[in-house]
Structure 1
Amino acid sequence: MKRFTQIGAAVGAVAFMAAAVTGCGTNSTSGSTNSTSGSSGSEPTLVLATSADYKPYEYHDTSSGQDKIVGFDIDVANAIAKQLHFKVKIEDMDFDGLIAALQAHRADFVIAGMTATPQRKKSVDFSDVYYQAENVVITKKGDNIKSLKDLSGDKVAAQLGSIQEDAAKTIPNVKLDSLDTIPTVVQEVLSNRADAAVIENTVATGYVKSNPQLQINKIAGMTENGSAIAFPKGSPWTKKFDTAIEKMKKDGELQQLAEKWFGGGQ
């Protein structure tokens, strides 16, 4: 799915502790991190790479006086960690660098509202889909956008390396404005530097709520996006995560997390 000017921030601690297993995760040296805290040391620590500019999936929350990365994806990762008995260390980086981090073994998995496209599958492995969403177009209020053809010749913003960028490329004669972060993409529309932006619906909802001069335009034929977790090729964790995701679907935990963060389920 998703995403920029660089986001640099020191972030606080995220951890889940449960019964012990042996093994160890990947050490990482790039980006800002949420470090895990105290444990017996018998659980492995897995490095979670994400791009924390994608509220409500993952974003920086400073409301407690500390800078923490929170969101739907983080809750999903922590729930899986609790099931599989590992600790989580978060690395925050640009979205278009996440696949490279897996390939270089600087991260054990990526959870970032990412869609398992055929192109990405050539480079990394993916879990089963854990959440479905769809693309929409945001514009200033009063615009009447019914199809991508209505944006023909317009300047349209989207996040660099995202499937929304791919969708924007299909607009006839589009002037594509590819940017590093979602806040920057939205700001282009707010400041009239772009006529529209292609964003995922769950993310767009939050921005429209806080910026009443914007509106969401649902476009017929826009594809759904299935979020999945990415791993280095051949990772032993892929199937384990699939088992945990299936359990969360069956026992309703994924539904509860979706309602918490999006106000609706699957």
Structure 2
Amino acid sequence: MKKILNFLVLGLMIAVLVTTSGCTDKNAGANSTQKTYVVGTEPYFPPFEYAEENNSKNIVGFDVDLINAIAADQGFKVQWKDLEFDALIPALQSGQIDMIASGMTITEERENAVDFTEPYINAGLALAVAVSNEEIKGVDDLKGKVAAVQQGSTGSHEAEKLKAEGKIGDIIYLAHVNDIILNIQNERADFTINDLPVTQAFMSQNPGVIKIVDDELTSDSYGFAVKSGNTELLTMLNQGLENVKQDGTYDQIMTKYF
């Protein structure tokens, strides 16, 4: 009888181990099948995306937190890829990346090239000058003045429009916001046209450098972009965005950065 009981106990232990092992393998399989999407961004656009202060290889920011929250909600992983802003759409179209999360304004021209999610933040354009500049108080004061703008941005398009109308002088195209500010500080440029929340964030972190003289040039919105026709990913991003707005995660991220 004792041998029979020992045999039964041993059999029960083996059964438990097999069951536990099966559950572990199943979970491991579920995690391993999570799809990874490559996210293209230009990480010189605080507070939306920028390199972490103590780790230049780690990209942080509003867009980063929001995409990570959407990914967690929708059950996929993300891998971030550092690109110049004007290279993002070509990279998406060629398949080098799966989506763009880089403070990208939704415009009609861009909608012909990519598919955008629902807007995730309002971000119009602002006209900013050096804090010591008392000459420029609005667009009417830009005649003959030099603009410093980010290559490929909506700010650069607005500057080109003003130049075509004869309202401004030359345009200096630069890759990063910090370079734009440096050109204004060094008086190579007189003003910049850039996204309002980005300009406000810079002013908050670097007081006494620039000031906004007009914050109503346009009323625009940012969206995440996917390759035209990628309805599967677009649907996940839109659903995830809606979910994180409803559960309060979006508000927490907004409070963190703004």
Q: Does residue 238 of the first structure (1) align with residue 229 of the second (2)?
A: no
**Which one of 209, 226, 249 corresponds to residue 253 of structure 1?**
249
Match of 1:50 among 41, 48, 53: 41
- Percent of aligned positions with the same letter in both sequences? 29
Match of 1:69 among 41, 59, 67: 59
| Partner residue of 2:81 out of 77, 81, 91 | 91
The higher radius of gyration belongs to 2
CA distance in 2: counterparts of 1:237 and 1:61, whole angstroms: 28
The reply to whether residue 164 of structure 1 matches residue 160 of structure 2 is no
Flag the structure with higher helix content.
Answer: 2
Contact 2:127 2:138 in 1 (8 A): no
Aligned residue for 2:98?
A: 108
**Post-superposition shift, 1:173?**
3.3
- The letter of the residue matching 1:116 is I
Q: 1:40 to 1:251 in 2, by over 3 A?
A: closer
Query: Hey, what does 2:196 align to over in structure 1?
Result: 201
Partner AA of 1:227 in structure 2: Y
Change (3 A) 1:134 1:42: same
Structure 2 Cα separation of the partners of residues 187 and 110 of structure 1: 27
Q: Are residues 218 and 249 of structure 1, via their aligned partners in 2, closer, same or farther at CA, if it must alter by over 3 Å?
A: farther
CA–CA separation in structure 2 for the residues paired with 1:83 and 1:51: 24
Whether the 8 Å CA contact 1:154–1:175 is kept in 2: the answer is yes
- How many equivalent pairs are there? 226
- Letter matched to residue 251 of structure 1: D
Where in structure 2 are there 5+ consecutive unaligned residues? 1-25
- The normalised TM-score by structure 1 is 0.79
Once the two structures are TM-superposed, the CA of residue 185 in structure 1 deviates from its matched residue by: 1.1
- Rounded to whole Å, the distance in 1 between the matches of 2:46 and 2:184 is 18
Paired AA for residue 46 in structure 1: Y
**Structure 1: gaps of 5 or more residues:** 1-18, 23-38
The answer to whether the 8 A contact 1:57-1:73 is kept is yes
Amino acid of the residue matched to residue 258 of structure 1?
M
TM-score normalized with structure 2 length: 0.81
Give the aligned partner of residue 4 of structure 2.
none
Secondary structure of the residue aligned to 1:224 is coil
1:165-213 superposed Cα distances (whole Å, 9 cap, x missing partner): 1112233133111111111111110111101111222221233244444
Q: 1:251/1:210 Cα in 2 relative to 1: closer, same or farther (>3 Å)?
A: closer
Distance 1:197 1:66 in 2: 26
